[in-house]
Amino acid sequence: MESAKTYAKQASLLWLAGFGQACCLHRVFLLCKSSRMLSVRTGQCFLLNGFIFLGSMVMLNNVVIPILLWILPNQHEQFGTHIHGTEAAVALYSFLRFILVELFYIFWFYPLYVFSIVLSTIWYNDIAKHAYDTLRRTGLSMSQDSSKNDKPDPQIFTPTGRPSGIDGVIVGIGEQVYSVLLLTFFFIEVSLTGFIPYVGKAINFLLLSWMYAYYCFEYKWNHSELSLDKRLDFFESNWAFFAGFGSPCVLAIFCFSPLVSYGVMAILFPLFVLTAAGTQAEQVIDSVKSKWEGRGPGKLQIFYAANTLSMLALQLLPDAQKEQ
């Protein structure tokens, strides 16, 4: 019982450390101040996803729908007592409002949604690249106690884990393919947990936190050429820290509708990508663990199910099966 309490306390401290690192938004200001292109890309994300996408949602709910309700009322009293067949009129007006709103979604929201996903994905990669280049060029120290520890994060500045030359390119492509498969299956797993009665929401929140944390750090790990097996091992070995890092992302979107959640997340995500780029994760985790007696929370195989399904999917490919 005592060991369980100690385990929970250690996991909580790591969770708080991750949460605190995600909330260090001063890193965003420092990075954007050091790179004009980074400022431009971040501003473009705000403009597209905040002003245009979420602004369209606000316009629909506060302008378009009220105007439709005024033109096509849904209450009998608004027709007056002299009009006959008000039941049929209300039904007709309700149907017309539904059709007009759906047309608004079909010809504006859904195309904008797809356009936003494609363009934002390109911009996120640019943001991560410019952040990585800025950190390498300026040697900015982003930790909260930078005055005490100016040692750069080895994950930021030292390419590691891949062979050089054409072999490195082939390994990189293979890792990207496998990573896409792994995260696709993990996303399906996250989505399905939301349908579990009673505890589904809590599990969904935790898995979403891990998913967004991994997405944020993956940009950094890709640019530092950290091999996939090392990044997965590091992530699963420090699961409590990354659950804390991803929690602010999920808290911001958890109670909204899917479209609004996407818009909010699309605004906030580049900020968390930048905080992840400036986070000296190994040093922060080591500083927390150094205060303990013992090893602390062990490795948690977060991606076990996704990894198993990914391997099964790869075995369906003849070449992959031959290599295995």
- Provide mean pLDDT across the span 268-280: 93
- Going by pLDDT thresholds of 50, 70 and 90, the confidence category of residue 78 is low
- pLDDT at residue number 225: 81
pLDDT tops 60 at residue 96: yes
CB atoms under 10 Å from CB of 231, counted, come to 21
- pLDDT at residue number 59: 92
Range name among 27-41, 235-249, 262-276, 285-299 with the lowest pLDDT average: 285-299
- Provide mean pLDDT across the span 137-158: 50
- pLDDT at residue number 147: 41
The residues spanned by each domain of the chain are 18-143+151-323
- Provide mean pLDDT across the span 88-113: 88
In 57-71, which positions are buried (b, 16+ CB within 10 angstroms) versus exposed (e)?
Answer: eeebeeeeeeebeee
CA-nearest of 286, 252, 274, 313 to 38 is 274
Distance CA 199, CA 268 (A): 27
Range name among 129-133, 213-217, 277-281, 290-294 with the lowest pLDDT average: 290-294
pLDDT, tens digit, 9 for 90 and up, residues 102-146: 999 999 989 999 999 999 999 999 999 999 988 888 765 444 444
- pLDDT at residue number 298: 83
- pLDDT at residue number 164: 60
Mean pLDDT of the chain: 83
- pLDDT at residue number 314: 81
Backbone dihedral angles phi then psi of residue 35, each to the nearest 5 degrees: -140, 115
- pLDDT at residue number 137: 82
pLDDT, tens digit, 9 for 90 and up, residues 206-233: 999 999 999 999 998 988 888 889 999 9
Distance CA 102, CA 97 (A): 8
- pLDDT at residue number 297: 82
- Provide mean pLDDT across the span 225-253: 92
- Provide mean pLDDT across the span 287-312: 86
pLDDT tops 50 at residue 67: yes
- pLDDT at residue number 80: 53
Range name among 19-28, 42-51, 288-297 with the lowest pLDDT average: 288-297
- The encoded tokens of residue 291 equal 């205060």
Q: Residue 214: enclosing H or E segment and its boundaries?
A: helix 200-223
- Provide mean pLDDT across the span 281-286: 91
Distance CA 86, CA 72 (A): 12
CA-nearest of 169, 304, 156 to 232 is 304
pLDDT tops 80 at residue 279: yes
- pLDDT at residue number 73: 79
Instruction: Name which residue leads in pLDDT, 122 or 157.
Output: 122
Instruction: Name which residue leads in pLDDT, 176 or 110.
Output: 110
- Provide mean pLDDT across the span 24-44: 92
3-state secondary structure of 194: coil
- Going by pLDDT thresholds of 50, 70 and 90, the confidence category of residue 152 is very low
